[in-house]
Amino acid sequence: MRDVVDAPPERPGDRFARAAQELAGLRATAGEDALPIGIVVPVYNDWAAFRHLAQSIGTVCETRNLTADLIVVDDGSWQCGDETLRAIADAAPRLRLRRATLVANLGHQRAIAVGLTVASARAASYRAVIVMDGDGEDRPEHIPYLLDTSAAHPDAIICVRRGRRFEGARFALGYAVFKAFFVIGTGKTIDFGHYCVIPPRALARLVHSPALWSHFAATLLRSGLPLHRVRLDRGTRYAGRSSMNLTSLIRHGLNAIAVFEDVCLVRLLIALGLFSGGLVAALVAVVAIRFGTDMAVPGWATSAAGLLLVALLQAILLALASAASHLNRRSLSEVVPAREAERFLVPSADPAQRASPPSSGVPPDEAAGQGMAWQDAAWERTTWKAAS
């Protein structure tokens, strides 16, 4: 018969200590929830759509008692967005606009890399960092759900898989072809876009990855960080037309595959090895039939053997050239966003707005990020009310 041991009665001091621990935990959770979120949005001339997006984000923040730093990465726009940004700053009390203006049009992926570098300098002050496009296809109404999902999976990057889409048949076909080539070249599936929630502690790892300069989604796959996918329907553009065309889509796909260049090279070498093995087997069969049997060899066998030999030599040369090119690039210096992003930013005209790098205790690359001078325009709100 099993003995039953009663727990000793709880003393008043223990009860008070337990209550204090629970209260401290509640305060820590409340403090984390009160932190603002960082939202990185690259914009290239599409200010009309961005204005609608910012208004929708402001409405979501008001409804869900959130505050947000909206990091607007102006990707070298030739259209002036000052009036749009001023109107947003005046109308959205729960949004603080932070403008990072690039000296030239670097492209969507590099604009995201610069925006994440800016966010990384303030990572400790954010509850989470969200990346989204500025045209409205990434729906702001999904932000609360994504934040709740991130809270349930605190170590993972929450990536949005697209449900219903509104692109034309030609774009859908091109995107399907890109995904198929990506699977063949890398052995991985890329089934999500830019819309995601990143834990602040993961930012340093991403912005120190050279691959981030080429393709954001492929970098997430390559990073080794845990990814949690959710399926959400895509929205429609608020205004204007998409600049994505067939040429842009092909370039986008090649950049994604380039992130896995070494993996693609190994798979190519394996394929060339198997192909070369088949060619050698075919040559041996032709020679064996010619000299080892009494069977008549057709006249085209000699020509076929010559063609097989030429194909074998070409396969060997292609493998050697690919390997040499890859090894040569490995010796070259790569662009690391955490180190290089500041060079592409228009500096603030007011030296007082420049952040000073910490004096000690911070790695040089991180100190450079914290000392980054991005443009805080005169219209930017300097104070804002925290969520109560």
Nearest to 127 by CA among 69, 88, 71: 69
Comparing 246 with 126, the larger pLDDT belongs to: 126
What is the rounded CA–CA span in Å between residue 97 and residue 86? 9
Q: Are 157 and 226 in contact (CB under 8 A)?
A: yes
What is the rounded CA–CA span in Å between residue 266 and residue 186? 9
- Where residue 284 falls among pLDDT bands split at 50, 70, 90? confident
**Could you tell me the pTM of the whole model?**
0.75
pLDDT tens, position by position, 217-246? 999 999 989 999 999 988 888 876 776 677
Q: Are 102 and 346 in contact (CB under 8 A)?
A: yes
Mean pLDDT, to the nearest integer, of 347-376?
43
Query: For residue 60, is pLDDT > 70?
Result: yes
Query: For residue 355, is pLDDT > 50?
Result: no
The two counts, helices (H) then strands (E), for the chain are 13, 7
Query: For residue 182, is pLDDT > 70?
Result: yes
pLDDT tens, position by position, 25-39? 444 444 456 789 999
Q: Are 290 and 301 in contact (CB under 8 A)?
A: yes
- Where residue 61 falls among pLDDT bands split at 50, 70, 90? very high
Torsion on CA atoms 377, 378, 379, 385, rounded to nearest 10: 90
Which of 177-186, 263-272, 337-346, 377-386 comes out lowest in average pLDDT?
377-386
Query: For residue 351, is pLDDT > 60?
Result: no
